[in-house]
Structure 1
């Protein structure tokens, strides 16, 4: 089938968005990094209009700042904003728990268990960046399985924001913690006990938030082109 210009543009926007989002969450592009429209446009063969559409999507997810700036930058949420983000996220994750327990079935459990296996494989390989990304995506999967599209959308934005916060501020820790906590959550969901599942989710998010620690070290300005090349190859793969 011949690809129309519209679908081609849509594909470019999606690939560019996925590439930049992943590079930001995995901290290849650090907080404060400038994201020039011209360079992004050249890399993805996109017009400025399409680049701005990509940056707008990233801004909506709390990953990019564009307000009153000539050049967009990777967002730099403060610690106060970080605490606010986790507070709202706790409330939304409780709603996810309630929705999933109502809809629980073997296919939901299978999807969650398969994701945990991916987390275990990343941990076994010592791939910290992949482990970090998969830990956040576990919660995106929960939101998707809730069957509530609004809840999924809002939580997706918060998870992205929290992933950036953790990339900026978190202290080194073993991904085994998150994996075991995710497994415990699945068991609680299977049991159908809303109170226990909500308590485990609150404890899990408190544990995740407690890993944040302000780092005084100034970020090194990366080479945007080389990072985009590396992540774009993975996005196409």
Structure 2
């Protein structure tokens, strides 16, 4: 692929990914190549390459003879993603407590400031920024493989939240981000991991991943049928 086509593919990929993460494109929504191409002023080939990248990230699925759709993770898949995310982010904290780049704290605090500036104002942007905080933490480890995996699970979690979450509150997220920074700065690995665990647990809790119990009406209706016989 030429440099110009690669640049266009990157741009279309980034815009589509942002639209998914900011919940403008909803899970299950169809992504016709011609429509996407018309809106962005690019060829279907460029769009196809961008969609393949999104599929590799778990954000898009391709259905035979039907095209590409925004992914709809099952609750079981969502639980697995959160389990992996917790393990990866704990490793990020362990590394950062041992070694943090010179400009690391400045970059983290600048990001938290950006989160605070949109608190209560723009839900989609605050959701994206909240995820980007975790990606930044991973990038600061200097481990490109770890950062890539964290980025993927964070993206998938954002998609999961758009599908299953009851609500989104940026207040607790921003406060806990600041607490995580302080704990890492103090070299308190256990506290940082504890805050992160509580933080991710609250996110998963909002996603309502556990199967909902049947109502008493639905349970007793099965028995009621026997009475009617």
Q: TM-score, normalised by structure 2?
A: 0.86
Question: Are 1:17 and 1:58, in contact at CA under 8 Å, matched by a contact in 2?
Answer: yes
CA distance in 2, matches of 1:173, 1:9: 37
Choose which of 95, 110, 116 in structure 2 pairs with 1:99.
95
Correspondence list, 1:80-119, <5 A: 80-119=76-115
The residue aligned with 1:123 is: 119
The residue aligned with 2:129 is: 134
Coordinate RMSD, CA, aligned: 1.6
CA distance in 2, matches of 1:146, 1:79: 30
CA distance in 2, matches of 1:178, 1:18: 24
Question: Are 1:85 and 1:158, in contact at CA under 8 Å, matched by a contact in 2?
Answer: yes
The residue aligned with 1:21 is: 17
The residue aligned with 2:207 is: 212
CA distance in 2, matches of 1:31, 1:89: 20
Choose which of 194, 198, 223 in structure 2 pairs with 1:199.
194
Which range moves more in the overlay, 41-50 or 190-199? Answer: 41-50
Question: Are 1:12 and 1:44, in contact at CA under 8 Å, matched by a contact in 2?
Answer: no
Choose which of 46, 52, 63 in structure 2 pairs with 1:50.
46
Higher RCO (CA-CA < 8 Å; seq separation 6+): 1
1:39-95 Cα offsets, whole Å, 9 max, x none, are 122233333332221011111111101153531000001111111100000000011
Secondary structure at the residue paired with 2:28? coil
Choose which of 132, 143, 146 in structure 2 pairs with 1:148.
143
CA distance in 2, matches of 1:118, 1:36: 34
Which ranges in structure 1 are unaligned for 5 or more consecutive residues? 215-237
Choose which of 183, 186, 200 in structure 2 pairs with 1:188.
183
Q: TM-score, normalised by structure 1?
A: 0.84
Choose which of 160, 180, 183 in structure 1 pairs with 2:155.
160
Question: Are 1:140 and 1:156, in contact at CA under 8 Å, matched by a contact in 2?
Answer: yes
Larger Cα Rg: Structure 1 or Structure 2?
2
